[in-house]
Amino acid sequence: MILENIHCLLQFDDRGNLLALVSKSSGRNYIVKDGCSLFRLTMTEIIKNRVMPGTLALTGDMAEQIDFIQQSQCLEIDYRNLDGMPVTVKCTIGFMDEEIHWNILIENKTRFAVSEIEYPVLQFKPYLGLNAESERILLPKMDGILLGNPELHPWEDTNAEIVAERYWYPGEGKQKPNNLAVQMTAYYDEKEGILIYAADTDGYPKKMGPIYYKNKFIDLSPVHLRPEIPKMDFSLEYTIVTRFFKGDWKQAAQIYKKFAETAPWCNKTISEREDIPDWIKKGAFFLSFRLRYQNKGEAYLDYVPDYIEKWKKILDIPIVAMMCGWEKIGEWAGPDYFPPFGGERRFRNMCGRLMRNGEIPFTFGLSGLKILIRRHRTKSKDQPQLALDYDGREIFEQQYRESAALDINGVPIVDSNIDEWDGVHAYACPATEQAKSQIYGASIRMLKEYGVIMQQADQVLGGGTSECYNFGHGHPPGRGIWQIESLKKIYDETRKDAKKISKDFALSQEWISEPFIQYLDIYHCRNYDKPQGGLESIPLFSYLYHKYIPCYAGDWTSLLPDNKTGVYFHGWNFICGNLPAGSPLNMLGEIKNHEPEEADPKIMEMACNVCAALKNATSYLIYGEMLPTEELPVPGMDIYIQGLDFGFKRKSITVPSVLSMFWKNPAGKIACALANVSDETKIVDIPVDSYMKHIQKVFVEINGYEKRYWRNIVKGKVRLKMPARSAAVVREES
């Protein structure tokens, strides 16, 4: 059976298997030689309202009867009685110009539930063309990464036959950051590629990303996660879209962006969002430091406002005082937070003085939906500040068990180990009042009683929450849209009620995903932190959504001489439009805050320069839209990222000595942000002709107000002399 238009040809055999997915432009068939099933179902058995252990897999070639119904540019394939069971699957494939739209309907009359749907199954050839070195797989893990061909650039240091880089959208809700920010992936080389995305404007849970079956194929099938309800007929609530494209990840993202901007998470831009506080829109520096373990003990809190003022005088920008170790029990130990470290009166006085000085108190951060049960960790570990001996087993049984997310056996889902940084912990089900109290309750209390105007739902990575099988919580068993809706409700109520108390209140989340853009004031990203696995990190989320929500990054970027990549961090952070951040201590092995005079002069020079440049260019770098930008033809620098790797192994990488990014502000004006992250003055030729064809000269600012002048455009380029460790903005206006 053939379905085709001028762009694409699809071929199926008489059992409904996909044999070919051919681009007529390139003549390339992307599907593996022997073809693949069109779908795979994972079923769980439900007996007496309980999900039983074990799963059952069903595919199209198990059908007793297969019917093809073709109408013009659309094909329906009906698979009836899978494996002799009363399960029918109807797959509909249709063309919409260059796009292929994939839909699926399932009729299930069994006592089994459909927990996962892999559709369409897309098993691609492990080599697209003749130049495997140019192949890339776009994976929206956290902020975005690019994987290479796994034969040339192994994804893991392993000889396993199957290697997975498939992750959860919006997040798994567990221990590791297995979260995706965006519902898209792509596989491409220098000639052409294929884009796969879910046209889902609600944010239903799913998994995306590649699985490599060594020497066989790369599986990029989307996986749709369902609540586990038996005898349920349903259609997938959204369409899967595939299409061919030419170019790199930016061209794929540009196609996806046309869909994404129809979703509710793009309802308002930053310039339209009156809910976001002015202090974020004007720019601030996030300084991450510790309250505990300082020489003065609890009395250190009396010194904190003066300490922050020292940094403010040097950086010349408002400081967000990111206070770690504020919790009653210990750092990253919740939800029993109160009274905070130092006592109520001392803590309140500290926050009051910070506010009067124009700073932003930020208790960094709430431990998300985690419920600490047991932690015993000594100072001999790599993060001595996390040392703690806490036994909350009895408290958990008395106060928290009823609200905990349960597995299929009715047992609380727990993660980590007693001696790990966050200890053995359970998770509050997001549909419970306990979950609300851990974010809403803690935020409102911190604001009302202590004047803390910023909070972060930390460790809710990407907005992912745990599955839950507790029928008493009032949600369907397993996973589903109920998870996303529950968390959005908590965020919405937190922000609405907190902003009634203070319009300056801001709520953040560790990492981000699409459904929560309009439910947060800012988010915590790490696209400065290259590479997060794979060949390189890319600012995918910022490229798609920067004008809808601000971000800050670099909180654990040490400002001390031990950080050999600190200058690069601040430069990359700046050109990506992130609010700047840094820390007066090394995250690993150190617990004492250093004074500003102990900071590395070069790192501080770069930090000061990006702060000055940012304040003068907020319409671009905070309010603006990131534009496609190619690297400048400048000498490269070899660097190795230091600090925590967040579970993804690091490697040495080569980066340009001068970083650059084009931006468009809400008025439609264009600017290019640049950062010289080297120790030498650089002469750079900036190709502005793609964005500034209508003008003859540009306005240049070096380090904010330090140096300002007009420069002529010559043959589509602007020549710029950039001092070492400088930040510049080249724009079409003064």
Does the structure show a pLDDT above 70 at 211?
yes
Q: CA-to-CA distance for 42 and 654, rounded, in angstroms?
A: 43
In a domain, 532, yes or no: no
- What per-residue string of b and e applies to 15-39 under the rule 16 or more CB within 10 Å gives b? bbbbbbbbbeeeebbbbbeebbbbb
Q: Which two tokens stand for residue 446?
A: 């911190």
Does the structure show a pLDDT above 90 at 589?
no
325 and 250 within one domain:
no
Identify the DSSP state of 31.
Answer: B
666-710 pLDDT, tens per residue?
A: 999 999 999 999 999 999 999 999 999 889 999 999 999 899 999
What is the pLDDT of the chain when averaged over all its residues? 95
* Residue 726 φ then ψ, to 5°: -110, 160
User: Who has greater pLDDT, 621 or 421?
Assistant: 621
Within 13 A of 81's CA, how many CA atoms are on the CB side?
A: 3
Nearest to 722, CA basis, from 575, 551, 546, 542? 575
Q: CA-to-CA distance for 533 and 236, rounded, in angstroms?
A: 32
Does the structure show a pLDDT above 90 at 649?
no
Residue ending a domain, among 229, 262, 295, is: 262
C-alpha to C-alpha distances, 557 to 362, 508, 529, 552, 625, nearest whole angstrom: 17, 19, 9, 12, 25
The pLDDT, as a whole number, for residue 599 is 98
In a domain, 596, yes or no: no
46 and 111 within one domain:
yes
Q: CA-to-CA distance for 338 and 241, rounded, in angstroms?
A: 49
Nearest to 592, CA basis, from 555, 563, 627, 560? 560
469 and 322 within one domain:
yes
205 and 277 within one domain:
no
202 and 105 within one domain:
yes
Q: CA-to-CA distance for 317 and 551, rounded, in angstroms?
A: 17
Does the structure show a pLDDT above 90 at 642?
no
Does the structure show a pLDDT above 80 at 734?
no
The pLDDT, as a whole number, for residue 648 is 62
User: Who has greater pLDDT, 337 or 562?
Assistant: 337
345 and 228 within one domain:
no
Give the confidence band of 605 by pLDDT, cuts at 50, 70, 90.
Answer: very high
Does the structure show a pLDDT above 80 at 458?
yes
Cα 305 to chain center, whole Å? 32
Q: Which two tokens stand for residue 271?
A: 């310039």
In a domain, 579, yes or no: no
Choose the weakest-confidence range: 392-401, 567-576, 647-656: 647-656
CATH number at residue 666: 2.60.40.1180
Residue with tokens 């505990």: 292
104-129 pLDDT, tens per residue?
A: 999 999 999 999 999 999 999 999 99
CATH number at residue 297: 3.20.20.80
Q: Which two tokens stand for residue 591?
A: 């617990």
Q: CA-to-CA distance for 414 and 423, rounded, in angstroms?
A: 10
Q: CA-to-CA distance for 143 and 330, rounded, in angstroms?
A: 30
In a domain, 534, yes or no: no
- Omega prior to 120 cis, within 30 of 0: yes
Q: Which two tokens stand for residue 530?
A: 């290259």
The pLDDT, as a whole number, for residue 195 is 99
Residue ending a domain, among 262, 293, 318, is: 262
Q: What is the average pLDDT across 173-187?
A: 93
CATH number at residue 182: 2.70.98
71 and 47 within one domain:
yes
The pLDDT, as a whole number, for residue 533 is 67
316 and 249 within one domain:
no
Domain that holds residue 692: 625-731
Q: CA-to-CA distance for 191 and 131, rounded, in angstroms?
A: 9
Q: Tell me the chain's radius of gyration from C-alpha atoms.
A: 26
Residue ending a domain, among 239, 262, 285, is: 262
284 and 185 within one domain:
no
The pLDDT, as a whole number, for residue 532 is 64
In a domain, 670, yes or no: yes
Q: Is 673 in contact with 663 (CB distance < 8 Å)? A: yes
Does the structure show a pLDDT above 90 at 379?
no
Q: What is the average pLDDT across 643-657?
A: 75
H or E stretch covering 574: helix 566-575
Q: CA-to-CA distance for 570 and 679, rounded, in angstroms?
A: 14
Does the structure show a pLDDT above 90 at 159?
no
Q: CA-to-CA distance for 147 and 536, rounded, in angstroms?
A: 8
228-275 pLDDT, tens per residue?
A: 999 999 999 999 999 999 999 999 999 999 999 999 999 999 999 999
The pLDDT, as a whole number, for residue 394 is 97
Amino acid at 631: E
Q: Which two tokens stand for residue 358?
A: 């124009």
303 and 256 within one domain:
no
Q: CA-to-CA distance for 663 and 668, rounded, in angstroms?
A: 9
Does the structure show a pLDDT above 80 at 534?
no
Does the structure show a pLDDT above 70 at 176?
yes
Q: Which two tokens stand for residue 559?
A: 């400002």
Q: Is 187 in contact with 240 (CB distance < 8 Å)? A: no
Q: What share of the chain is helix, strand, coil (3-state, %, to 5)?
A: 20, 35, 45
pTM given for the model: 0.96
209 and 290 within one domain:
no
The pLDDT, as a whole number, for residue 383 is 79
DSSP string, 513-539: -GGGGGG-S-EE--TTS--SSSSEE--
716 and 639 within one domain:
yes
The pLDDT, as a whole number, for residue 157 is 66
In a domain, 540, yes or no: no
In a domain, 554, yes or no: no
Does the structure show a pLDDT above 80 at 42?
yes
Maximum CA pair distance of the chain? 78
Size of the chain in residues: 734
Number of domains the chain contains: 3
Provide the angle, in degrees to the nearest 10, between the axes of the packed helices 300-315 and 344-356: 20
Beta strands in 33-110 (DSSP E): 40-47, 50-51, 56-59, 63-71, 74-82, 87-96, 99-108
The pLDDT, as a whole number, for residue 391 is 97
In a domain, 609, yes or no: no
Q: CA-to-CA distance for 210 and 123, rounded, in angstroms?
A: 9
DSSP string, 35-52: -B-S-EEEEEEEETTEEP
101: which residues sit within 8 A by CB, 6+ positions away?
92, 93, 94, 95, 239, 240, 241
